[in-house]
């Protein structure tokens, strides 16, 4: 299987640089992602922590100016969304895009800066169980099952009054998480894909094995779950320049050095070859879809084109399990 590779649009960064014109620029960037032969285009969501555009509205616009590229969220803190409204939006987006939607959902786990703890006034365990309950109910309706939709936290019986997505069984819902055992088990038992944000290749390989075991235990096809990766990237003529640019970015954006942020997210700064070598280790471990966030404020076009010309073709030549 040929691995896929996509770009996470700079939704937050453009709000810093040009807040009154960010939407138009993001639409144009989405067109460029498709024209440059990336496989997917993604938007993030963190509206209670930083100014940025609403992701589902943005994806709706992107869906009508692109034709083939997959669109998705990487990732959306689902606990901040009312489940029936979220399902309604996903159904609409799947139809608008012609079945090209993937929803990456997160729990809103706080980073060491600007976290969502004050906005999400519940335990992290409750966040997990609420989101899992909602996802299972939504998938039951999309798949035509007669499950009881009155759960611990929600009565979602009214989901059956909504229209259905274009995609048979509904668009893919991926779990943005890590390689911890409970997250891995949930990805295998409930979700259609796994999007880790901080993990090493060997842990990735072992986590994927456990995901597939959990899927089999739940009576699911283990090969139907898409293993992916979220990684922040900077590409330059030499690795030291690229790493320095990453450090400048994290200090500007998070007000923390790269050495701290690497404990929470995957980062790679280097030449195009070094980036390919870094990603190859994850492809060898089973990764099938890479989502790349370009870490720059003022050098976006050059880096995106460098990735398109030197990284994407090399990744497309690889084979994943």
pLDDT tens column, 126-161 = 999 999 999 999 999 999 999 999 999 999 999 999
216 CB-near residues (< 8 Å, 6+ apart): 222
**CA distance linking residue 92 with residue 150, whole number of Å:** 24
- pLDDT score recorded for residue 225: 98
Express each pLDDT in 271-320 by its tens digit. Answer: 999 999 999 999 999 999 999 999 998 899 999 999 999 999 999 999 98
Contact 142, 164 (CB under 8 A): yes
- pLDDT score recorded for residue 47: 62
| Cβ neighbour number for residue 31 with a 10 Å cutoff | 16
Is the pLDDT at 115 greater than 80? The verdict is no
**CA distance linking residue 108 with residue 248, whole number of Å:** 25
Lowest mean pLDDT among 40-54, 151-165, 206-220, 286-300: 40-54
What average pLDDT does range 241-266 have in this prediction? Answer: 95
**CA distance linking residue 293 with residue 315, whole number of Å:** 16
What average pLDDT does range 48-58 have in this prediction? Answer: 85
Alpha helices in 105-221, H assignment, sequence order: 124-142, 181-189, 201-217
- pLDDT score recorded for residue 3: 98
**CA distance linking residue 119 with residue 299, whole number of Å:** 33
Under CATH, which architecture does the 4-316 domain have? Answer: Alpha-Beta Barrel (3.20)
Q: Which one, of 96, 64, 76, 89, lies nearest residue 11 by Cα?
A: 76
- pLDDT score recorded for residue 5: 98
Residue 234 half-sphere exposure toward CB, CA atoms < 13 A? 23
Lowest mean pLDDT among 17-26, 85-94, 179-188: 17-26
């Amino acid at each position: 299987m040929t691995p896929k590779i996509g770009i996470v649009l700079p939704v937050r960064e453009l709000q810093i640089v040009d807040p009154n014109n960010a939407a138009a620029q993001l639409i144009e960037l989405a067109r460029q992602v498709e024209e440059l032969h990336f496989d997917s285009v993604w938007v993030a969501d963190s509206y209670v922590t930083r100014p940025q555009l609403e992701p589902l509205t943005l994806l709706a616009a992107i869906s009508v100016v692109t034709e083939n590229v997959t669109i998705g969220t990487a990732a959306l803190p689902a606990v901040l969304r009312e489940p029936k409204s979220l399902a309604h939006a996903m159904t609409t987006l799947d139809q608008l895009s012609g079945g090209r939607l993937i929803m990456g959902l997160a729990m809103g786990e706080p980073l060491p800066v600007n976290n969502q703890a004050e906005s999400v006034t519940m335990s992290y365990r409750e966040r997990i169980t609420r989101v899992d309950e909602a996802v299972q109910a939504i998938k039951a309706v999309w798949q035509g099952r007669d499950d009881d939709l009155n759960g611990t936290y929600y009565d979602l019986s009214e989901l059956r009054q909504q229209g259905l997505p274009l995609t048979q069984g509904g668009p893919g819902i991926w779990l943005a998480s890590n390689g911890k055992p409970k997250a891995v088990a949930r990805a295998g038992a409930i979700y259609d894909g796994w999007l880790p944000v901080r993990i090493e290749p060997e842990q990735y390989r072992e986590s994927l094995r456990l995901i597939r075991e959990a899927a089999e235990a739940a009576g699911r096809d283990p090969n139907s779950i898409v293993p992916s990766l979220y990684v922040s990237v900077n590409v330059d003529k030499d690795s030291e320049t690229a790493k320095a640019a990453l450090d400048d970015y994290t200090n500007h954006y998070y007000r923390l050095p790269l050495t701290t942020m690497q404990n929470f997210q995957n980062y790679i700064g280097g030449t195009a070859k070094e980036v390919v070598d870094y990603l190859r280790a994850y492809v060898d471990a089973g990764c099938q879809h890479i989502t790349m966030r370009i870490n720059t404020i003022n050098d976006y076009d050059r880096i995106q084109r460098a990735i398109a010309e030197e990284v994407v073709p090399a990744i497309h030549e690889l084979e994943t399990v």
